[in-house]
Chain A
Amino acid sequence: MMTHSLAATALRTQRDKAVTEEGPGVSANVTKLDTFPQLLLRHAAERGNHPAIREKDLGIWQTWTWSQVLDEVRAVSGGLASLGFKRGDRLAIIGDNRPRLYWSISAAQMLGGIPVPLYQDAAAQEMTFPLQNAEIEIAIVEDQEQVDKLLEILPQCPKLKYIVYDDPRGLRKYDASQLISFEALQERGRGFNAKNPAYLDEEIGKCKHADTAAMFYTSGTTGVPKGVVLSHENLIFAGQAYVSLDQITEDEELLAYMPLAWIGQNAFSYTLSLIAGFCVSCPESGETVMIDVREVGPTFYFAPPAVLEGMLTRVMVQMEDAGFVKRKMFHYFMALARRVGGKLLSGTEQVGPLDRLQYALGKLLVYGPLRNRLGMSRVRIAYTFGEAIGPDLFVFYRSLGVNLKQLYASTETSAVITLHENGKVRSDTVGPPLPGVEVKIAESGEVLVRSPGVFVGYYKNPEATAEVKDADGWFHTGDAGFFDKDGHLRIIDRAKDVGRLKDGTLFAPKYLENKLKFFPHIKEVVAFGHGRDCATAMINIDVTAVGDWAERRNLPYAGYTDLAGKEAVYELIWDCVVKANLDLSSDPKLAGSQIKRFVILHKELDADDGELTRTRKVRRRIIADKYAKIIEALYSDSDHVEFDAQVKFEDGRSGAIHADLKIWDAKIFKGNASQANQGNGQ
C-alpha cells in the first residue's frame, strides 16, 4: 500500500508543479521547430518543470522533467560523440520501453545520427541482418539478455565496436572490450561536453528538416527485412496530424508498453510526446503493465486488437465467477450499454431520458468500476490498429464510454493514413484520411497513399523502394480497400489475395474470414471463390466455445471431430454464416460474395501440418492443394464428401483422420435488403 500512496503522491506533486502557461493549441503549432532536437530544446525551455518521462523503479514512479531529460540526452550525445559517432551514423537501440533508451534516440538525433530501434524479443540471428545492413558500430541495449545476443553474433558483425548497456545485472563477469555501461557513457559525455561546449549546439543547428530521423526494420515475413528510412519531416508531419485532429496536449498521460521498434509505439510515445510535450510512462516490467496502467491512469491509450481482446476475455471470465447479483447487474447494464453507450459517446443520435438515467446509474455501478479495473478511467482518446477488430470487441469498449477509434497506417507512411473522427466512429471502417494525406484506390483495388509522411525509401534498396513508391510519390500499401459513401476507408484484404468471382464481383477472402471469425464459436475459416460462381467456406469451430455451448445443452461429444460433425453444431454455425451474409448484403460492393455453401472441417487447421503459419495466418495455396476434394464438393451439388485428412502428431508420426463431411447451403440475401440495414453504425 505504501507503493501506491508514494506513487500517487509523486504523480500529484508533479502535476501540481506542471507549468501550464500555454493552451492546448500552441503545442500543435510547430512551425520553425522542424527537427526532433529543436523540439526537445523547446520543451526544456518552455516547460522545463513539466514531467517528460516516468519509470517505475523499486515500486515507485521516478519522474524526469523536460529540462532533466535534455540534460541526460546531452550527456549521452557527448558520450556517443566521444566514441566517434557522427552525422549520418546509425545507432542500434534494443530493449523495452526504458527512459534511457528514449534518451538514446534523442541523443543520436542530436548529433545528426540515425536511431535504429530493433525488436528486443528477436533472436540473435534475426538481429544480424539489420546490424550488417545498417553498418551499426554502436548499440545501446537494455540488459544482459541483449548483450548476450550481440556478443553471440559479433563474429558476423565485425563493424560493431561498442555495446552500451543500461542494466548491469549479471554483466559483472563479462570482459568483452566492447562493453560500456550507460553511466560510463554519460560520464564520458559530460567530460566531452565540458571540453567542447559549443559542439552539440552546432550539431543541432546543422540538422535539417529533410534529414533522416530514424530507421525501422519491417518484420520481413516476406523475404529479408527492409530498413524504412523516415525523415524528421515524415515523422513530425505524422505526429502533428494526430495532435491537431485529436487536440493532444501536454497534459496527456500515456503508458508505453509495446516494442519501441514498432512504428506505432514509437510514433505515439516518442514523436507525439516530443510534439505535444506530454509525459510518457514506462512500466516496471512487461508483466506489470495491467497494474501500472491503473496507477498511471492514461488519458491517451492505444492497443492492438489482440490486447483489447485479452482484456475483454479476462473481464468475462472474472464475471462468470462473480456472485449472482453482480453477474445479473453486469449483464443487464452491459446490454443497456451496447444499446445506448455508443450513441451517447458519439453524441450523434438521440437517447431518451429514461435510458440516460439508467446509463448514469450503470456508470456508477458497472461501467465506472470496470473502466477503473481496465486502467481506462481517464482515457480520452484510444486508438487501435494493426489488424481488423471484431465489431463486438469494438462496441464493448465504446459502450463503456471509452472513445476507441481505429486508424490505418504502416511503417512506410510514418504511422499515418486514416483515423476516425470523434463522433463518426464505426467498427467496419478505418475512417477518413487525416488532414494532409491523399488516398486513392488503384484500378486493382490497392490503396495508394501520398503525404509528407510517406517514407524516403528503403535503406540501400532502391529496387524495393521503386516497387512500392512511384515517381509521383504514391506509396502502394499492398492492401486492398475502398471508400464508402461517407468517405471512410475500408480495408478488406491484402491486395494480392483479392480475387474476383466469375461474374466479376469483388472477392476478398480475408474480409469474409474475419467476419466469420468474429463469432466466438468459429476459430478459423478459409474462404474460396476466386474464379468460381460463388463464395464458399471451410470452417473450424472453436472447440472451447462450442464445447462449452454443447455442455450447457447436455450434448455429449467425444472430441473435436465428433463435435464438428454434430447436426446441432451445424445449425449453430449456419446461424453465424447467415448473419455474416446478412451483413455482407448491406454492402453493394460485397453483397455478391455472400457465402453460399460451407463445410465444418473435422480436423483443426494446424501450423504443424503446414496449414497455418506460426502466427496463425492461413496458407491458402497449401490448403487449396490438400483439401482439393472438399473444395470440389463445395462447388458440386453433393451434400456430403468423404475425406481423409493427413495429420502429423506431436511425436512426429503421421496419420489420417477419416470423416464423412456434411455440406450445408447457407441463406443468401438480396443486395441492399432493407432489413439488412443494421450494420455496425453507432
Chain B
Amino acid sequence: MSARKIGDTILSVEGISLSFGGVQALSNISFDVREHEVRAIIGPNGAGKSSMLNVINGVYHPQEGTITYRGEKREQMDPHHVAAQGIARTFQSLALFKGMSVLDNIMTGRNLKMKSGILAQAIRIGAAEREEVAHREKVEHIIDFLEIQPYRKTPVGRLPYGLQKRVDLGRALAMEPKVLLLDEPMAGMNVEEKQDMCRFVLDVNDEFGTTVVLIEHDMGVVMDISDRVVVLDYGKKIGDGSPDEVRNNQAVIDAYLGVQH
C-alpha cells in the first residue's frame, strides 16, 4: 500500500505566447506536468491562468510555442482530439445541463466512449443496451465516489452551487481522463465545501492515478494539495517549484501582496 509514484513528464508546454489583438495574454510560458502529480497554476486576476488551460485544452490556439502530450509534439491542440486523448476539464463558470438530472449530466461525460449509433441507442437494442449498462456502472462508481447518491435523479439546476461543482467534476471523471484540468474548482465555496473538494481532488489523484492540473485563487488550498506550483503574473511565468519554494519566492510575494514603488 504505497502512494502512486510521480512519473515522467506527460505534458509539457514550451514557449507559449498567446495574444488577442493587442493584448498579450501569455508570453513565452514553459512548464511541464509529470504523470500522477497535482500541478497548480496560480496567479492574481488576469494573470492568464484560464487562458493557459484553454491552450492546453485546444480552445485557444497560441501564436507561438509547442505543446507536447505523451510524446506527441503539436503547435496547437484540437478540443475534440484532446478529449479523445484523455484530457478532461471542468469549468470556472459551470457549464452543466441545468434541466437534466445529475445522472444524465455525468452520463454525457461517457459520450466519447459510446460506440453504438444514435438510432441503436434510441431504441436500446442488443449491444446498445449492454453498452449503456456498462457505462451506467462506470457512472455509478463516480456517483459513489463523489458521494452524490441522494441526488441521482435531481435536476442539476436545483442543487446548491457546491454540489453542482461536484457534478461538474463527476462529468469530467466519466471520461476516465489521464489528465484532469480543473478551472478554479473551489471558487465561490465556503470552507467546508472547499475541504470536501480538496478531499475529492486528492482522492481522484490517489485512487485513479489521474494527473491533475488545477487553477486556484485560494493560496492556502493550493499549497496544501499540490505537488508543484506554477505562478503566472500578467501573462509571464514568475515562479515554478514546490509549494515551499514558491511561497518564499520574492517575485511571487510581490505579485500577490504588491510592492512599494
Do A and B actually bind?
A: yes
- B207 engages A169 (CB within 8 Å): yes
When distances are taken between beta carbons in the complex, the residues of chain B under 8 Å from A615 are: none
The answer to whether B149 and A284 touch across the interface, beta carbons within 8 angstroms, is yes
Closest beta carbon of chain A to B254's beta carbon, Å: 35
- The yes or no answer to B8 lying at the interface (CB within 8 A) is no
Contacts of A171 in B (CB 8 A): 1
Any B CB within 8 A of the CB of A285: yes
CA distance A58 to B4 in the complex (A): 26
- In the complex, chain A residues whose CB is within 8 Å of the CB of B1: 171-175, 179
Measured CB to CB, the closest approach of chain A to B159, in angstroms, equals: 13
Measured between alpha carbons, how far is A285 from B147 in the docked complex, in Å?
Answer: 8
* B149 pairs with A285, CB closer than 8 A: yes
A172 touches B150 (CB 8 A): no
Closest to A287 in B: B150
Report B-chain residues with C-beta under 8 Å of the C-beta of A655. Answer: none
Query: Are A288 and B2 in touch, CB under 8 angstroms?
Result: no
Residues of A close to B150: CB separation below 8 A: 285, 287-288, 291
Binds A, one of B45-53, B71-79, B133-141: B133-141
CB distance from B36 to the nearest CB of A (A): 12
- A residues 42-60 touching B (CB-CB < 8 Å): 57-60
Interface centre among A59, A171, A285, by most B CB within 10 Å? A59
A287–B136 CB distance below 8 A? no
A3 contacts chain B at the CB level, 8 A cutoff: yes
Whether the pair A175, B2 counts as a contact (CB closer than 8 A) is yes
* Best-buried of B2, B140, B199 by chain A (most CB within 10 Å): B140
Secondary structure of the B contact surface, majority rule: helix
Q: Across the interface, do A172 and B206 meet the contact criterion of CB distance under 8 Å?
A: yes
Q: Does B196 contact A (CB under 8 A)?
A: no
- A-chain residues with CB within 8 Å of residue B141 when the two chains form the complex: 58
Contact A59 B149 (CB under 8 A): yes
Q: Hey, which chain B residues are within 8 Å of A288, CB to CB? A: 149-150
Within 8 A of B (CB), among A135-190: 169-175, 179
Q: CB of B3 within 8 A of chain A?
A: yes
Residues of B within 8 A of A179 (CB): 1
Q: How far is the CA of A509 from the CA of B3 in the complex (A)?
A: 59
**Once the chains are docked, how many angstroms separate the CA of A170 from the CA of B205?**
10
- Chain A residues whose CB sits within 8 angstroms of the CB of B137 once the complex forms: 58
A2 at the interface (CB under 8 A from B): yes
Q: How far is the CA of A173 from the CA of B144 in the complex (A)?
A: 20
Is A173's CB under 8 angstroms from B149's CB? Answer: no
| Number of A-B residue pairs having CB atoms within 8 Å of each other in the complex | 44
Q: Mark A1-45, 1 if CB is under 8 A from B, else 0.
A: 011000000000000000000000000000000000000000000
Inter-chain contacts of A58 with B (CB < 8 A): 137, 140-141, 143-144
The minimal Cβ–Cβ distance linking A182 to chain B, given in whole angstroms, is 15
**Is the CB of B245 closer than 8 A to any CB of chain A?**
no
Q: Which residue of A lies closest to B132 (CB)?
A: A2
Q: How far is the CA of A288 from the CA of B140 in the complex (A)?
A: 15
When C-beta atoms are compared, the residue in chain B nearest to A60 turns out to be B140
Cβ-based interface call for B203 (8 A): yes
Q: How far is the CA of A58 from the CA of B1 in the complex (A)?
A: 25
Q: In this complex, what residue of A is CB-closest to B3?
A: A173
List B residues 196-214 near A (Cβ within 8 Å): 199, 203, 206-207
Q: Is B236 close to A, CB under 8 A? A: no
* Nearest CB on B from A558, distance (A): 30
Residues in B104-158 with C-beta less than 8 Å from chain A: 133, 136-137, 140-141, 143-145, 147, 149-150, 152
| A59→B143 contact, CB < 8 A | yes
For the complex formed, measure the closest distance between the CB of B197 and the CB atoms of chain A, giving whole angstroms.
15
User: CA A288 – CA B149 in complex, angstroms?
Assistant: 7
Task: State whether A172 touches B3 (Cβ < 8 A).
Answer: yes
Report Cα–Cα, A179/B1, bound state, in Å. Answer: 11
Interface centre among B4, B141, B149, B152 (most CB of A within 10 A): B149
Measured between beta carbons, the chain A residues less than 8 angstroms from B144 are 57-58
CB distance from A401 to the nearest CB of B (A): 28
Q: Which of A3, A57, A169, A291 contacts B203 (CB 8 A)?
A: A169
Q: Smallest Cβ distance from A291 to chain B, in angstroms? A: 7
Q: How far is the CB of B243 from chain A (nearest CB, A)?
A: 18
Complex: A287 Cα to B152 Cα, angstroms: 12
In residues 53-112 of chain B, which contact A (Cβ within 8 Å)? none
Taking A59-B143, A170-B203, A173-B2 as contacts, is the C-beta distance between A3 and B152 under 8 angstroms?
A: yes
A57 to B144, alpha carbons, bound, how many Å? Answer: 8
Contacts of B203 in A (CB 8 A): 169-170
Give Cα distance in the complex from A24 to B183, angstroms: 61
Note all chain A residues with C-beta closer than 8 A to B136: 2
Q: Which residue of B lies closest to A175 (CB)?
A: B1
Residues of A contacting B199 with CB < 8 Å? 170
Q: Give bound CA distance, A14 to B137, whole Å.
A: 22
Distance of A362 Cα from B15 Cα, bound (Å): 74
Please judge, given known A-B contacts A170-B203, A172-B207, A173-B206, whether A59 and B2 are in contact too, CB under 8 Å.
Answer: no
CA distance A412 to B208 in the complex (A): 48
- Please name all residues of chain A whose beta carbon is closer than 8 Å to the beta carbon of B2 when the two chains form the complex: 173, 175
* Additional A-B contact list (17), CB under 8 Å, known A58-B144, A173-B1: A58-B137, A58-B140, A58-B143, A169-B207, A171-B1, A172-B206, A172-B207, A173-B3, A174-B1, A175-B1, A175-B2, A179-B1, A285-B149, A285-B150, A287-B150, A288-B149, A291-B150
A-B CB contact pairs (8 Å), 18 listed: A3-B152, A58-B140, A59-B143, A59-B149, A59-B152, A170-B199, A170-B206, A173-B1, A173-B3, A174-B1, A175-B1, A175-B2, A284-B149, A285-B147, A285-B150, A287-B150, A288-B149, A291-B150
Q: Which 8 A-B pairs have the closest CB atoms?
A: A58-B140, A287-B150, A173-B3, A288-B150, A59-B140, A284-B149, A288-B149, A285-B149
